[in-house]
Structure 1
Amino acid sequence: MTEYSSLLSDAVLRHRARIAEHSARIEAELASKVKSEFIANMSHELKTPLNTVIGFSKLLTQHQERRLPDKEIVEYATLIHDAAGHLLSVINDILDISKLQSGKYVIDSREIDIENILRDCLEEFRHTADAAQVTFAPEIAADLPPIRGDATKLKQIFGNILSNAIKFTPSRGTVTVKALRTANECAAIVVRDSGVGMSLEEIKVAMTPFGQVDGGRSRWREGAGLGLPIAKALVELHGGTVEIHSQQNEGTEVVVTLPGRDSPTASAIGLGIRSPAA
């Protein structure tokens, strides 16, 4: 019996070792894939605006040799400005995710009105939605609880989520934004779009820093794959939660829950908010 027990123990240990080795190999392959995709995506995201800045600024330097109409000068300057803004946004996202992953990110927490934050974000992205022919449909409750948080970071959270919703919603689609007070004194913000949607596996990829759900789709709409991971990390720093419900070709719903000033818990769970597709 002792010998049998020893053999069985060795067999169990070998089996566990094989499982651990297999898991480690899968994780290493995934990490390598994510790294390769990150390099490819960053190359595109950085080189594209840089090429725009270099190309059109060179045209402006040739103004003395080839007189440019004022209209073209303004057009080139606008393109340079937009490209530089996009480049700065990508660099800021990379710095943010690095700080968040290192645990050195600090928020300036104070009591704020979440309704004002949401309305400012909606107004800011209304022009983007109009340009993409996407309809905004906000429904913000008047009794949202006051919360403690960093106004700038909260705008970044909702900006990232709204940007994604608009980006992956085809023209004539709709993005609805609902904000309500929950029974446990939390603020729940639900952003639902009628866009391309994601499978469960794609949601996991989308929540991974630098993860691109689909190479073809990501090139259809620009992005470094940092919006949702940054939003989730910032929400968690506020003691809140992020839930994503989606189906391919059925749209996506993102539920952000933030604890109110008088909420008995640091985060709210089980709000009962689900999309029909979930």
Structure 2
Amino acid sequence: MRHRARVAEQSARIEADLASKVKSEFIANMSHELRTPLNTVIGFSKLLTQHHLRRLPDKEIVEYATLIHDAAGHLLSVINDILDISKIQSGKYTLDAREVNVGEILAASVSSFRMMASEAHVDLHFTLAPDLRAIRGDAQKLRQIFTNIISNALKFTPAEGTVDVTARGTGTGGVVISIRDSGVGMTAEEIGIALTPFGQVDGGRSRWREGAGLGLPIAKALVELHGGSLELRSNKGSGTEAIITLPGRDTVSAVESHK
């Protein structure tokens, strides 16, 4: 009994330490995530307001406006992620579930990253099984799931690497989607951190592109709202595979339609 109590106490202490670490990382990361793009917006918009004092070439005006637009878009993305995870954790997140073609949604998600993959010199491959059935789900939320995971795979895959996206049917009418990259990979502990809201495997502030650490937790929560599961398989230095399993439309009884 005493041994069990000690084990339980130790486990609780480890969980508390991890929660404290994640919270500290979140506060530090949010400060950087919000201040950096805000400084961009404030700095370059101020330069534009001084156009009457120093005539700016059209090329510079377009460049400043583009930087402001990108920074504002990043801010909006961070805010939306925070709102999404807050709704999910409070149980107020709902799905607009209906019959959808998951293959078309996945194809559109992959296509949206073609340019990003090309600029990063990463080969993005897509294979879709011809026998996929329609499933019951929320098209917008499914697109968000695929976008979050593909984006994450590309971010952590170095130049000349690969990201392979495949989709196949299951015997029960469901779908299994695999998103495999040849990136840096993760340890088992790092996988746990990556799936924790606001957690980041690398908390270095120089890696702004990693975002708020909400992409994977949101994707996992949305998959589970669809009655499915998200599994990460990875080894340090040998890439990561995200496996999304979505049930068939005839077996989804837990997914409610909110219209």
TM-score (norm 2): 0.93
Give CA deviations for 1:138-189 in whole Å, capped at 9, x if unaligned.
Answer: 0011211101111110000000000000000001111110000112221111
Once residues 118 and 45 of structure 1 are traced to their aligned partners in structure 2, the CA distance between those partners, rounded to angstroms, is: 28
For 1:81-92, what aligned pairs fall within 5 Å after superposition? 81-92=69-80
Q: Does 1:230 align with 2:218?
A: yes
Q: Could you tell me which residue of structure 2 aligns to residue 260 of structure 1? A: 248
Once residues 90 and 219 of structure 1 are traced to their aligned partners in structure 2, the CA distance between those partners, rounded to angstroms, is: 15
Match of 2:116 among 128, 143, 150: 128
- Indicate how the Cα distance of structure 1 residues 218 and 77 shifts in structure 2: closer, same or farther if over 3 A, else same: closer
Q: Could you tell me which residue of structure 2 aligns to residue 139 of structure 1? A: 127
Q: Could you tell me which residue of structure 2 aligns to residue 39 of structure 1? A: 27
In structure 2, what residue type is equivalent to 1:244? L
**Runs of 5+ in structure 2 lacking a partner?**
none
For 1:26-175, what aligned pairs fall within 5 Å after superposition? 26-175=14-163
Q: CA deviation at 1:227?
A: 0.5
Once residues 124 and 205 of structure 2 are traced to their aligned partners in structure 1, the CA distance between those partners, rounded to angstroms, is: 23
In structure 1, what residue type is equivalent to 2:128? I
Q: Would the aligned equivalents of 2:29 and 2:203 in 1 still touch at CA under 8 Å?
A: no
Once residues 82 and 180 of structure 2 are traced to their aligned partners in structure 1, the CA distance between those partners, rounded to angstroms, is: 26
In structure 2, what residue type is equivalent to 1:75? E
Once residues 108 and 182 of structure 2 are traced to their aligned partners in structure 1, the CA distance between those partners, rounded to angstroms, is: 22
Give CA deviations for 1:89-136 in whole Å, capped at 9, x if unaligned.
Answer: 000001100111111100100001011101110111111111111111
* Corresponding residue SS for 1:175: strand
Per chain length, whose mean CA-contact separation is higher, i.e. which structure has more relative contact order (CA < 8 Å, sep 6+)?
Answer: 2
For 1:189-200, what aligned pairs fall within 5 Å after superposition? 189-200=177-188
Q: Would the aligned equivalents of 1:207 and 1:228 in 2 still touch at CA under 8 Å?
A: yes
**Runs of 5+ in structure 1 lacking a partner?**
1-11, 268-278
Once residues 264 and 90 of structure 1 are traced to their aligned partners in structure 2, the CA distance between those partners, rounded to angstroms, is: 31
Aligned length: 255
Q: Would the aligned equivalents of 2:149 and 2:179 in 1 still touch at CA under 8 Å?
A: yes
- Indicate how the Cα distance of structure 1 residues 218 and 61 shifts in structure 2: closer, same or farther if over 3 A, else same: closer
What RMSD over aligned residues (CA atoms) do the two structures have, in Å?
1.8
Identity %: 71
Once residues 16 and 188 of structure 1 are traced to their aligned partners in structure 2, the CA distance between those partners, rounded to angstroms, is: 39
Q: Which entry has the higher C-alpha Rg, 1 or 2?
A: 1
Q: CA deviation at 1:32?
A: 1.4
Once residues 134 and 19 of structure 1 are traced to their aligned partners in structure 2, the CA distance between those partners, rounded to angstroms, is: 46
Match of 1:211 among 199, 205, 213: 199
Q: CA deviation at 1:221?
A: 4.1
* Corresponding residue SS for 1:197: coil
Q: CA deviation at 1:216?
A: 3.8
In structure 2, what residue type is equivalent to 1:246? S
Q: Would the aligned equivalents of 1:184 and 1:264 in 2 still touch at CA under 8 Å?
A: no
